[in-house]
Structure 1
Amino acid sequence: MSALIKRVLSEACSGKVAIKQVFALTHNIYFHKEVTFDPDRKADKRAHDTFWIVRKTNEGSQVEGFARNPIRTSYELLWEEIRKPSRPALTIQNVMRRILECLRLSGMTFMP
């Protein structure tokens, strides 16, 4: 699936097809990394790439844009979510549980 999406992205960038814009939405970090990996991308040199994160809040959905790819590892993203002052209080326990699960899966132990 990621190869198909990358082909569609390449065709859209070429300007030779009717496709002008491609939206790829996913909750899977590994799939996102596979689709967005581009060895030719140099920092912020390609103006046609934009990255967005959609978060659920108490008021609805919040869409945040980024100049460069904000996705790293799921572990880093979870800690980033904890550090945000505007994080929804409803999700903090789930985020902490997922951080501990990442530590357990990586073989690390948590000592309080």
Structure 2
Amino acid sequence: MQGNTKKNMLSCPFCEAPLEQPEDITTRFGNTFSGGKCGCGAVFVYDGSGHSLGDAYVDGLAYACGGDWDKAWSLVPDEDYEVRELSADTRRNKFHEARRGSKSTYLFIRLNKDLKAG
């Protein structure tokens, strides 16, 4: 049965590696969000409502920067990091482009190689 495990998981949009289920992550300021990391260095934040993407961006950038908020706020989109906003089709275990108001939205952020947190 383990052979089917990868087929039953969503994959990272940057490297196509299977992703674990989102976990609750608590920031140093006590904020909790659902998300995770991929082996390629990408982080993801899960927004089940699709209505809290602003918070997801902030949490995701800080998480990608190892909790360094100053570094996170200094980054320039498309120059310092890549973003993918995707909706999950859990029936087919695939991502597709998120539309406004999509539920089960995942926000993926990957820092450029020279900026990755240690």
TM norm structure 1? 0.30
Higher relative contact order (CA 8 A, sep 6+): 2
Greater helix content: 1
TM-score by length of 2: 0.29
Query: Which has a greater percent of strand?
Result: 2
